[in-house]
Structure 1
Amino acid sequence: MFAAASSFFSRTAISQSYNIGGSTNGSRSTTPTPSGSATPMHTSPPVRVGLWKVQGASHKVTNKRVSVWTFDKRAEMEGLGPLSRERVLEVLKAEATALSRLRHPSILEMVEPLEETRNELIFATEPVLSPLDISIPRGPHFTALVELDEIEIQKGILQLCKGLSFLHSSAKLIHSNLKPECVIINDSGDWKISGLGLTIPLTTADGTPTRWEFPGFDGRVPSYIQRSFDYIAPEYALDEVLVTASDMYSLGALIYAVHCKGKPPFSNHGSLGGLRDNAGRPVPDIGQLDSDLQDLLRSLITRGSQSRPTPSTLPSHSFFSSLPISTLNFLDRSNFTAKTREEKISFMKGLTGVLSRFSEGLRIRKILPSLLEEMKDTHLLPYILPNVFAISNILSASQFAQLVLPSLKPLFTIKDPPQNMLTLLDNLEMLQSKTEKGVFREQVLPLVYNALESEHAVVQEHALKVVPNLCETIDYAEVSGVLFPRVALVFTKTKILSVKVATLVTFLSMVKTLDQSNLTQKLCPLLSKIRTKEPAVMMATLSVQEAMGFKVDREAVATLVLPQLWSMSMGPLLNIEQFQRFMGAIRKLGDRVEKEHNQFLRDSQRIEDRSATANGVAAPNLNSGVDFESLVGRANGTVKPDTVIDNTKSWDDDVWGSIFNSTPEVISAITPVTPQTASTPATQPPVPLPQAQSLPSSPRPTNNATLSRPARLGAKPVPSTSFDRSVFSTTIQSSQPPRVTSPPLQPQHTSSSFSNPSTAATQRPNYNISLSDFSATSSSSTNSFASPPSYIAPNYTPFMSTTPSHPMTAPLQASPLSMGSMLAPMQPTRPAATNKPPSKDDWGDFDPLK
């Protein structure tokens, strides 16, 4: 309980408001590194700045990133005496207080003031990367947190000069402890002055000069809170004077250490005597350095303070006159805002060629933020964007999303000036590679759609050029539902030839992406509406049609593509080569249609043959040569070769006689016979059959029975009432296997119609089976038609000759059955005249040739 209570009371406002070493609401704060990668602050290890432990943190509400500085009293002051403890706390508190009081771009910015608990001191500053001492390159096996090149070192030195100028002229302070450990590199790559716990004011509160203090060195106290004898100015230790030029000596020693792997020019080992011995010596080991740098070091590391340059005059030294340094100075916020628009435009144009001379870290941390800040001026955008995209190429996807994309989002929907859209379209592939799929669809794709709707032809052409790559990378639904209709709209509305051709080139690239439905239902009708006869448009359309012709089915090629190609090939402005190009495409597509349709027909015939075989029906052999005479002979019995028609012979005799005299075998061959079932029991009563109409007698009698001429088709039928049951005797029923036959055709009329000729005349003829010529009418046959029969299917039976050829026909020999299967209209039975030729009354107005 005591430990929990101590922990509760030891909590500070900073620890309650910030996630120290963690993230807020699941978001991960990132810090760009010189190599171009983004390191999450909460996963990076804490760094040591003297006695302070520095950790990345983020605000729980605003997600603002900071660096939290913590001093653990128990761990850091273990083994120290009371006076030493008091001295340590005094210097650390003075440092935090000075940071909160001094505000300058080159001095470390404090965000949260110092808080003290029983166990720690804590405050928060702007995000930092590392102190300078652990970023100085010391050899091939040393890995620095921040890789420094010469340009970045020069830039940092100039920033320290600005900070010292502020301390000397505005704050009236002498730092007196400037060394690599007290210079902090923030997350933007800027060098910031820190370690202000040992500053010396030039005057006291009452205006009198500050009293000099001996810079003694105590080995029992941490070196961080003591002035280093390796960087202290000789006049301060030896001459007991307080001048601002002492900080310039320390700056010279710091510059030497940065260029010489972290070693100071003289190692005094905390001894005043060593400082006295080395004070008048020349700067050692600078022969391998640049001549301008050597001259700079000789002017700073001197025994006397009068010859040293001041913080305001040092930037004019030739060492800082390189083009990259001049570029950074020009881009500095304090200078750039005062420049005219023409000067800014000229600078941005030249910056593209100078960017390669800067390190990646410097481009990301220093140049890119300055460019993004200047993007507020829309007139400068066409000149700023190329530089922004040049730097973005070295960024990771997470860095781009965090640093650049928020500044670019407003530009995706702005159409003017058109140069902005051109630059964005030229870098669309990079934008797609640096953004997530959903972000690209929602935020970047509107740029393409706005460009397609632009009034400037050059912007539309640039937008059309990026469409093919988009078709391969974005979702198909976006291509077919949004992108293709917008391109089609441009194709329909544009009146500029170059844009027209560009849309056709875009369609050509989209053919391999779109499905057949879109090609046949949307693209083909769109191309058919082309009215211009310009060869460029015709040839571009030909390419689209040809590519489409090899993707859609053969029917679409035959009905949609080929007709359009034929129509366009007749263009009056085409030359011979272009016309031959059309003909070649037509031939290729026509060959494809012919080949595929032939194969389709073969496959269809094969399927039909298999289906017929499976159903027990032999498929006709279409390729077998059937002789015509044999075919007709099988149907009519015999065929006389080259028979000459005898005009003297009656047509009726030839036709009807051939029919009446046909043998049962021939008739049965052409007459369908219903299959027979098993024999019917003898007790089953016979099915009553209506009396068949006897045909009129024919000039060619058969078996001494003359058949009457059939009534003319369409004559008024008269229902027959003659029926002879003796024909269907029990003997026939028992001796002949029963047939499953359909009942004969009967007219659906009442019995009253038989006695009313006018009623019968309106009825349709009823065809029945003619069995024989019966003259007698029995009462039973009349009764059988008392009730109107239903209309049922006829039973077709073959003709049966009077000479029995089968035992089943024996009982029928007595009856002159000759037309057992002929269909004839129902008429009253007429007695057959054996020797009487047919008269005009018998034939009526029948004309078989009519």
Structure 2
Amino acid sequence: MEKMLIAALQASALSRLRHPSILEMVEPLEETRSELTFATEPIICALESAIPGAGRHASLVELDEIEIQKGVLQICKGLSFLHSSAKLIHSNINPESIVINSAGDWKVSGLGLTIPLLNSDGQPTRWEFPTFDSRVPAYIQRSFDYMAPEYALDEQLLTASDMYSLGCLLYAVHCKGSPPFKTRGSLSGLRDNAGKPIPSLERLDPDLQSLLRLLITRHAAERPTPSSLPTLPFFNSLPISTLNFLDRTNFTTKTREEKISFMKGLTSVLDRFSEGLRTRKILPSLLEEMKDTHLLPYILPNVFAISNALSPQQFANLVLPSLKPLFAVKEPPQNMLTLLDNLKLLQEKTEKKVFRTQVLPLVYNALESEHTVVQERALAVVPDLCETIDYAEIQGVMFPRVALVFTKTRVLSVKVATLATFLVMVKTLDQTSLTQKLVPLLSKIRTKEPAVMMATLSVQEAMGSKVDREAVATLVLPQLWAMSMGPLLNVEQFQRFMAVIRKLGDRVEAEHNQFLRDSQRIEDKSATQTTNGSAIPSAVNMDFESLVGRANGTSVAPPLATTTPMSFSTPPLQPTMTGGSVQSTSSYTMTPAKPQAPSQPSYGGPNYNISLPSAPFGASSSGMAPMQPSTPVAPSLPAFNASSPPLFAQPMSATPPPGLGSMLTPSRPAQPTWNAQKPPGKDAWGDFDPLA
């Protein structure tokens, strides 16, 4: 029941006492029959759990000397408020009643045991020394180890008693959580330790020794007050003065000039603070002051110096939300210059997608700036971005924006800077973008300034090594020849143009020669294949069923067929005979032999009717070679018995043949007899001339 009462008193005190150094209540007390519920600001731990070397469990907060000094000063502010404004004595200052919030601030809590200086009737409150009950949790009763001796010896209620307790707390923080004296909950022990010297004091810093002797003393009047304690040498270090200046209640009262001077000097002392103190205490104060754009050039270097030690997740949660609105702020120009100088850090601390969508607009806005120095700085960071961001972003967004700056600018240094950027982007852009976008862009250059022309030459040289020979010959080289005639070029610069032109020309010559040789080789090979293919005989005119049967891998016996009679019309032959030669014409008649057995395949041949010219042929021999038909001879032909007529027999009468040009042209197309079964008769061979 007593525990519930103390908790209710503490909740009630927290709801009434509002001060930056007092634990803040965010949700009021809700009381039921079995429990009390209220909510405070987020806290990391009690000071007891953060004391280095205490040994109970791992320290949740890294406490260095600056952090301790800052925390003690914050407790002094809280005690000053309790003593002066609330008219209360805390009466239980110890490591368990001091908590550390998420910002690293030390807050006074444990207000359930506070004692008012005056009663309700205006009379001083009378002190009654409590008894220590080991059955009750320690956090709801006073700790005798941190209690001032006047409680036991003088039975007085003094605000200075809290300063004695603060001295014992400061000693315990530096001595692994052990107080200067241990009473073990005994009133007599508290009395016995009142006059003893502080143990192991020689191991501590001299300024700390002096401070502890002033606080842990039997005489309450000799102790410093909460308002006078910060003036002692122990708290006169530069880091503590820096934190005091940056405190919200103090910093808002300073002029802009004082704030600028402070921010300039802060960068040089940041390394004297612990990482936790920089992150929890200094960084939030800096981010809060970034609302003043005139202070941004001086605040941002400190923000980025602290951000170097942050993890990507911490940076995304703590810093990036405050930086995003600044990416579009173009005045003063120092803002963008500082952000661009730290672009690499922004890229390292953000995910790829977040960087593309939230940080890259900073570069695009800088390219559109009216300040030349900002544009040049933005162009200087593009080469590094080309190595890390996606090609689609470079080709679709980055290159068009750089090209727009190149087109619009009238400043020579910016023009040269864009050309230097193009030189780097040549390695990334594909051939289509180079030939269709960059080459036409460079062709529009009208200035004859040597700096621009030489920068353009470097870009053209890089492109000439990447695009194909046609683009070099038709696009790059003509531009280089025209630019080489610039009237402002000196001899060395002109020779540089000539060297590049010769280099690219040699490349075009070598590659085009190789191309022509390869083309000629292909043409020669094709011609050879065509010549060999012309000697292939024409397809044999064969039976369809037999052809199909062979194609299917089966043996099909073709039907028995007779050869179609062939009729030739020959002119009278007039051979010239030597030695009593006689000129005459001969007529030959061939009768086919009896056809072979049906088991032998027989192919029907076409019926040719060939007319020979009527003019006699002059021949040096007495005979003429027989003419061969244009179609292949059938595999098996019937035997022929030719009877030679008398040499001077009457020549056959024939119609005068047409001209020589058509002597091999058949008078009608071949008519194959597919299903002919009748053997050839005598009349079928009547017009066959074996010598024709």
TM-score range, shorter chain: 0.7 to 0.9
Q: CA deviation at 1:288?
A: 2.3
Q: Is the 8 A contact 2:117 2:124 kept in 1?
A: yes
Superposed, 1:288-307 pairs within 5 Å as 288-307=203-222
Given residue 113 of structure 1, which amino acid in structure 2 is its aligned partner? P
Is residue 2:156 matched to residue 1:156? no
Q: CA deviation at 1:292?
A: 1.4
Given residue 193 of structure 1, which amino acid in structure 2 is its aligned partner? V
| Aligned residue in 2 for 1:805 | 624
| Aligned residue in 2 for 1:436 | 351
Superposed, 1:557-568 pairs within 5 Å as 557-568=472-483
- What SS does the corresponding residue of 1:335 show, helix, strand or coil? helix
| Aligned residue in 2 for 1:131 | 46
Superposed, 1:437-836 pairs within 5 Å as 437-615=352-530, 617=532, 682=564, 771=613, 805-808=624-627, 820-821=660-661
Q: Please, which of 167, 173, 191 is the counterpart of residue 258 of structure 1?
A: 173
1:140–1:173 CA distance, 2 compared to 1 (3 A) = closer
Q: Is the 8 A contact 2:54 2:177 kept in 1?
A: no
Deviations 1:571-594 (A, max 9, x none): 222223322322322233223223
Deviations 1:395-447 (A, max 9, x none): 11111111111111111122111111111111111111212222222221111
How many Å separate the matches in 2 of 1:323 and 1:740?
A: 124
| Aligned residue in 1 for 2:142 | 227
Q: CA deviation at 1:608?
A: 3.6
Q: Is the 8 A contact 1:248 1:311 kept in 2?
A: yes
Given residue 491 of structure 1, which amino acid in structure 2 is its aligned partner? F
Is residue 2:151 matched to residue 1:311? no
Deviations 1:230-270 (A, max 9, x none): 11011122110001110000011111111111111111211
| Aligned residue in 1 for 2:303 | 388
Q: Is the 8 A contact 1:491 1:503 kept in 2?
A: yes
Given residue 365 of structure 1, which amino acid in structure 2 is its aligned partner? R
How many Å separate the matches in 1 of 2:608 and 2:65?
A: 114
How many Å separate the matches in 1 of 2:209 and 2:366?
A: 56
Given residue 477 of structure 2, which amino acid in structure 1 is its aligned partner? L
1:683–1:814 CA distance, 2 compared to 1 (3 A) = closer
User: Which one is further off, 376-385 or 181-190?
Assistant: 376-385
How many Å separate the matches in 2 of 1:270 and 1:738?
A: 137
Is residue 2:14 matched to residue 1:90? no
How many Å separate the matches in 1 of 2:653 and 2:471?
A: 70
1:822–1:237 CA distance, 2 compared to 1 (3 A) = same
Q: Please, which of 293, 297, 317 is the counterpart of residue 378 of structure 1?
A: 293
Superposed, 1:332-343 pairs within 5 Å as 332-343=247-258
Given residue 805 of structure 1, which amino acid in structure 2 is its aligned partner? M
| Aligned residue in 2 for 1:206 | 121
Given residue 259 of structure 2, which amino acid in structure 1 is its aligned partner? K
Given residue 431 of structure 2, which amino acid in structure 1 is its aligned partner? Q
Deviations 1:477-532 (A, max 9, x none): 11111110010011111111110111011011111111111011101111121122
Is residue 2:56 matched to residue 1:146? no
Q: CA deviation at 1:452?
A: 0.6
- What SS does the corresponding residue of 1:306 show, helix, strand or coil? helix
- What SS does the corresponding residue of 1:103 show, helix, strand or coil? coil
Q: CA deviation at 1:115?
A: 2.7
Q: CA deviation at 1:125?
A: 1.0
What are structure 1's unaligned runs of at least 5 residues?
A: 1-85, 620-671, 688-701, 705-728, 744-768, 774-798, 824-850
Q: Is the 8 A contact 1:676 1:739 kept in 2?
A: no
How many Å separate the matches in 2 of 1:440 and 1:89?
A: 53
Is residue 2:95 matched to residue 1:276? no
- What SS does the corresponding residue of 1:192 show, helix, strand or coil? strand
How many Å separate the matches in 2 of 1:800 and 1:675?
A: 30
How many Å separate the matches in 2 of 1:812 and 1:514?
A: 87
Given residue 89 of structure 2, which amino acid in structure 1 is its aligned partner? I
How many Å separate the matches in 2 of 1:557 and 1:113?
A: 79
- What SS does the corresponding residue of 1:568 show, helix, strand or coil? helix
How many Å separate the matches in 1 of 2:617 and 2:268?
A: 114
- What SS does the corresponding residue of 1:473 show, helix, strand or coil? coil
Given residue 52 of structure 2, which amino acid in structure 1 is its aligned partner? P
How many Å separate the matches in 2 of 1:160 and 1:219?
A: 28
Provide the aligned length of Structure 1 versus Structure 2: 597
1:581–1:116 CA distance, 2 compared to 1 (3 A) = same
Q: Is the 8 A contact 1:136 1:148 kept in 2?
A: yes
- What SS does the corresponding residue of 1:221 show, helix, strand or coil? coil
| Aligned residue in 1 for 2:284 | 369
Q: Is the 8 A contact 2:49 2:57 kept in 1?
A: no
Q: CA deviation at 1:114?
A: 2.6
Q: What TM-score do you get using the length of structure 1 for normalisation?
A: 0.65
How many Å separate the matches in 1 of 2:57 and 2:455?
A: 61
- What SS does the corresponding residue of 1:129 show, helix, strand or coil? strand
| Aligned residue in 2 for 1:28 | none
1:130–1:561 CA distance, 2 compared to 1 (3 A) = same
User: Which one is further off, 566-575 or 534-543?
Assistant: 566-575
How many Å separate the matches in 2 of 1:141 and 1:200?
A: 31
How many Å separate the matches in 2 of 1:771 and 1:357?
A: 122
How many Å separate the matches in 1 of 2:398 and 2:250?
A: 45
Q: Is the 8 A contact 1:451 1:459 kept in 2?
A: yes
Deviations 1:769-818 (A, max 9, x none): 99558xxxxxxxxxxxxxxxxxxxxxxxxx96567632349999999989
How many Å separate the matches in 1 of 2:589 and 2:297?
A: 115
1:530–1:585 CA distance, 2 compared to 1 (3 A) = same
1:815–1:740 CA distance, 2 compared to 1 (3 A) = closer
How many Å separate the matches in 2 of 1:397 and 1:143?
A: 25
Q: Is the 8 A contact 1:802 1:817 kept in 2?
A: no
| Aligned residue in 2 for 1:184 | 99
Deviations 1:696-718 (A, max 9, x none): xxxxxx999xxxxxxxxxxxxxx
Q: Is the 8 A contact 1:382 1:423 kept in 2?
A: yes
Given residue 337 of structure 2, which amino acid in structure 1 is its aligned partner? L
Is residue 2:254 matched to residue 1:414? no
How many Å separate the matches in 2 of 1:232 and 1:610?
A: 110
- What SS does the corresponding residue of 2:145 show, helix, strand or coil? coil
Deviations 1:676-713 (A, max 9, x none): 976996568999xxxxxxxxxxxxxx999xxxxxxxxx
Given residue 626 of structure 2, which amino acid in structure 1 is its aligned partner? P
Superposed, 1:18-57 pairs within 5 Å as none
Q: CA deviation at 1:100?
A: 1.8
How many Å separate the matches in 1 of 2:256 and 2:365?
A: 28
Q: Is the 8 A contact 2:91 2:113 kept in 1?
A: yes
Q: Is the 8 A contact 1:677 1:738 kept in 2?
A: no
Q: Is the 8 A contact 2:217 2:223 kept in 1?
A: yes
Q: Is the 8 A contact 1:802 1:816 kept in 2?
A: no
Q: CA deviation at 1:551?
A: 1.3
Q: CA deviation at 1:212?
A: 0.9
How many Å separate the matches in 2 of 1:377 and 1:478?
A: 33
Is residue 2:242 matched to residue 1:327? yes
Aligned identity (percent) is 72
Given residue 806 of structure 1, which amino acid in structure 2 is its aligned partner? A
Q: What TM-score do you get using the length of structure 2 for normalisation?
A: 0.80
Given residue 820 of structure 1, which amino acid in structure 2 is its aligned partner? L
Given residue 384 of structure 2, which amino acid in structure 1 is its aligned partner? N
- What SS does the corresponding residue of 1:104 show, helix, strand or coil? coil
| Aligned residue in 2 for 1:425 | 340
How many Å separate the matches in 2 of 1:240 and 1:740?
A: 152
1:371–1:142 CA distance, 2 compared to 1 (3 A) = same
Q: CA deviation at 1:541?
A: 1.2
How many Å separate the matches in 1 of 2:527 and 2:54?
A: 91
- What SS does the corresponding residue of 2:387 show, helix, strand or coil? helix
How many Å separate the matches in 1 of 2:515 and 2:165?
A: 93
Given residue 240 of structure 2, which amino acid in structure 1 is its aligned partner? I
